[in-house]
Amino acid sequence: MASVRLRGIRKTYGDNPVIKGIDLDIEDGRFVVFVGPSGCGKSTLLRMIAGLEDITDGTLELGGIVSNTVEPSRRGIAMVFQSYALYPHMTVAENMGFALKLAKVPRPEIAQRVRHAAEILQIAHLLDRKPKALSGGQRQRVAIGRAIVRKPEVFLFDEPLSNLDAALRAQTRVELARLHKELKATMIYVTHDQVEAMTLGEEIVVFNAGRIEQAGTPLELYERPANLFVAGFLGSPRMNAFPATLAGHAGGLAAVRVPGGGLVQVAADASLAGSGAALTLGVRSEHLRLDAGLDAGGIPGRLALVEYLGDVTLAYVQVEGVDGMVAAKCPPDVPLPSPGSVVRLRFDPARAWLFDAQGAALPALRDAVRLTG
């Protein structure tokens, strides 16, 4: 297996920069997920690693060897395409063995490796079929099988689950995780689905507009987002953002004025921001509590809509000064006020984030709050 090292990677199409300087180290055997909105450059970067796109500037090292100009087939990389790209005129076995045939591997060895990969993926009974006779899930397995038989050092996945239905996606996610454990290969996986990113990745790299916003473990990114973009991108519903003004700070807590005029406390280091600084308060929907708006405190709003999802109830609240609705996840067994009622949104100061005017997160001081609190 091999590590992947990117240094100052750039890509421009004409005068249009698409990748604007990427530095990234992917350790040998890691499962790394590139995630970001459409057009952020994650797939382009994957294709540059694969050798399907030229690298305008920077250095790509695979297994310690500079590979910028190495032929795609000689990089020790296999790629699973979003469309699967199974050759329609070949059987499953021929599809899986095509790369080995081109590499002039003896036929018995091709047959043995194809069968082995097919058994891992439980598609041995499909080897004589043509792709058109397969379901979406089966095609997806064949595409993975085609990658496995090559015994690559790095697997690249370009949104391989996006054509599957929700149930099959969930099942295949589990199988991919199992496959990674079994093969112990370096895997780079591109998706715009944050659930896939959170569940599959040992490490997540969040892209935006050709740059890396943040890289880290799923929990790190969820718990300590570096900026408002990452905070909003990971988590469903997305993190709620309230306009806020810094009123003061003391003892590891920042006091901010929120819509409705109330003061709330957040466990964040706001010492570098001046009093009166415009900030954004971020609170995830699962950390918001909702109660009837009789008492003071919290953020006042009007309950607009309630969605009962079975395991959880989503309450959508209109808050003055906030674009869109604020979402709060509530336990399903707790009765909620009727839509139209005035409610107050409350949260634990250790479960909220503050972002400066540029969107950068202020250092969280949750541990300090927990120790003192």
Would you say 25 or 94 has its CB closer to other proteins?
94
* Bridge partner residues of 156 (DSSP): 79, 188
CA distance 364 to 192: 27
Would you say 52 or 65 has its CB closer to other proteins?
52
CA distance 343 to 139: 50
User: Minimal distance in Å, beta carbon 139 to other proteins?
Assistant: 12
Would you say 98 or 162 has its CB closer to other proteins?
98
Cα atoms in the Cβ-side hemisphere of radius 13 Å centred on 251? 8
Q: Provide the 8-state DSSP code for 153.
A: S
Q: Which two tokens stand for residue 6?
A: 């990117």
User: Minimal distance in Å, beta carbon 113 to other proteins?
Assistant: 14
User: Minimal distance in Å, beta carbon 138 to other proteins?
Assistant: 17
Would you say 73 or 217 has its CB closer to other proteins?
73
Residue ranges that bind other proteins, judged by CB under 8 A: 50-52, 72-73, 77-79, 81-83, 85, 87-89, 98-99, 102-103, 146, 150
User: Minimal distance in Å, beta carbon 48 to other proteins?
Assistant: 13
Give how far the C-alpha of residue 146 lies from the chain's centroid of Cα atoms, to the nearest Å: 25
CA distance 220 to 232: 14
Q: Which ranges constitute the DSSP H helices of 86-165? A: 92-102, 107-120, 136-148
Would you say 103 or 133 has its CB closer to other proteins?
103
Would you say 79 or 117 has its CB closer to other proteins?
79
Burial class (CB in 10 A: 0-12, 13-18, 19+), 174: exposed
Contact indicator for 46, 6 with CB cutoff of 8 Å = no
Would you say 64 or 88 has its CB closer to other proteins?
88
Give how far the C-alpha of residue 102 lies from the chain's centroid of Cα atoms, to the nearest Å: 35
Per-residue b/e over 188-227, b at no fewer than 16 CB within 10 Å? Answer: bbbbbbbebbbebbebbbbbbebebbbbbebeebbebbbb
User: Minimal distance in Å, beta carbon 13 to other proteins?
Assistant: 11
Handedness of CA 231, 232, 235, 238 (dihedral sign): positive
Q: Which two tokens stand for residue 60?
A: 């790509």
User: Minimal distance in Å, beta carbon 148 to other proteins?
Assistant: 13
User: Minimal distance in Å, beta carbon 44 to other proteins?
Assistant: 13
Would you say 150 or 180 has its CB closer to other proteins?
150
Q: Can you point out the beta strands (E) in 203-341?
A: 203-208, 211-216, 240-250, 253-257, 263-266, 278-283, 289-292, 299-308, 313-318, 326-330
Q: Provide the 8-state DSSP code for 349.
A: G
User: Minimal distance in Å, beta carbon 79 to other proteins?
Assistant: 5
Would you say 77 or 328 has its CB closer to other proteins?
77
User: Minimal distance in Å, beta carbon 50 to other proteins?
Assistant: 7
